[in-house]
Amino acid sequence: MLVKAIILAGGYGRRIMPLTHYKPKPLLPVANRPVIDYVTARIAKAGITDITIALGYKPNEIVSFTEGYLDLNIKYSTEDEPCGTAGAVKLAADTDEEIIVCSADTISDCDILSLVRAHRENRAFVTMETTVTDDLGKYGEVISDKGLIKELREKCTTNSGKRGVANAGTYVLDPRVLDYIPQGVFFDFSKDLFPYLLKAGKRICEVRNNGYWRDIGGLADYYKANFEMARTFGMKPVRHLSRRYGSYINGSLIASGAVVSGRISECIIGEDAVIASSARLKNCIVLPGEKVLNSYENCIIGRDFAVSPLQSGVNLNNISRHRGNKTVNSSKIFRI
């Protein structure tokens, strides 16, 4: 098919802290698989094996994991200074072929082959995956007519709770697009490149994803994606040297190597995590390698923190200690 893929994996992930103090966002587990697994599986399903990963924050950890992929030709591009999403692609691209750009913090079942076919049939300069969302405040809004994009509006708080069509973050680029991306300056797809191309009269087309799509860049969406993928197990992952699998036990997804002595209900327990006999967990995600002594509901539990999905930076470990190890139900503290 003569298509190269670039995965944008350099973001710091401020909206999902404190999780990204623990791991870079592409390696955060979703149903006990690093999120980048879902991205590479989607690319490999399209028959694309040449992938360049654009790195920034904690690059060595991402390289260490992705070097274990079998059947993929992985290359890396590391930016010394943040250069924006388009700038990162410019830096990573070494091809005169069409380029697939995917974000490492987005899970989608939109078929990449359908994007490439539509791109060629429409003779587009750029083809964008789009999706319908109930909260445009978190995403850029797309205005189109019969598949041809007329306007792109950046995300803004006034659109919170508004239903509409959003940029889903996967693009097919004509290689000539690279000529419009300046080198050595911060340059973003949505804020800089696409508005410029529209003004220049270039064809930017959309392919609507009517299936599954989830951006895990925020705590609430990360929490939801975990349980959605746990129910479906997502796409078949690309073979990997060191991947281990877990199993469902009494309604909870428990990774191999995890030790569960406490009582859990509808939870996702990460690799090598330990749930002590004193713990009672319900609807919780426990990150790999963590030891849980206390009791929680509706929380993401990691190193020295347990956060409500809607309240980043709130350490419920402190609350539980102050309450003498009683169960902390975050739905009673915050509306979820």
CATH number at residue 98: 3.90.550.10
Examine the domain organization and report whether 68 and 213 are in the same domain: yes
Q: What is the reported pLDDT for 158?
A: 67
235 in a domain, yes or no? no
Instruction: Give the whole-angstrom CA distance, residue 283 versus residue 248.
Output: 14
How far, in Å, are 70, 128, 130, 178, 195 from residue 99 at the CA level? 22, 12, 17, 10, 19
238 in a domain, yes or no? no
Examine the domain organization and report whether 48 and 192 are in the same domain: yes
- Joined together, the tokens standing for residue 38 give 């879902």
pLDDT in tens, 202-244: 999 999 999 999 999 889 999 999 999 988 766 788 889 887 7
Examine the domain organization and report whether 82 and 133 are in the same domain: yes
Number of domains into which the chain is organized: 2
Examine the domain organization and report whether 144 and 185 are in the same domain: yes
- Report phi then psi at 190, rounded to 5: -70, -40
Q: What is the reported pLDDT for 233?
A: 60
Segments in the chain below pLDDT 70: 1-2, 156-159, 233-234, 310-336
Q: What is the reported pLDDT for 184?
A: 81
Examine the domain organization and report whether 175 and 321 are in the same domain: no
Domain that residue 109 falls in: 3-219
231 in a domain, yes or no? no
230 in a domain, yes or no? no
SS3 of 240-287: ECCCCCCEEECCEEECCCCEECCEEECCEECCCCEECCCCEEECCEEC
228 in a domain, yes or no? no
Instruction: Give the whole-angstrom CA distance, residue 40 versus residue 70.
Output: 11
Q: What is the reported pLDDT for 11?
A: 84
Instruction: Give the whole-angstrom CA distance, residue 102 versus residue 10.
Output: 12
Examine the domain organization and report whether 209 and 283 are in the same domain: no
Examine the domain organization and report whether 145 and 92 are in the same domain: yes
50 in a domain, yes or no? yes
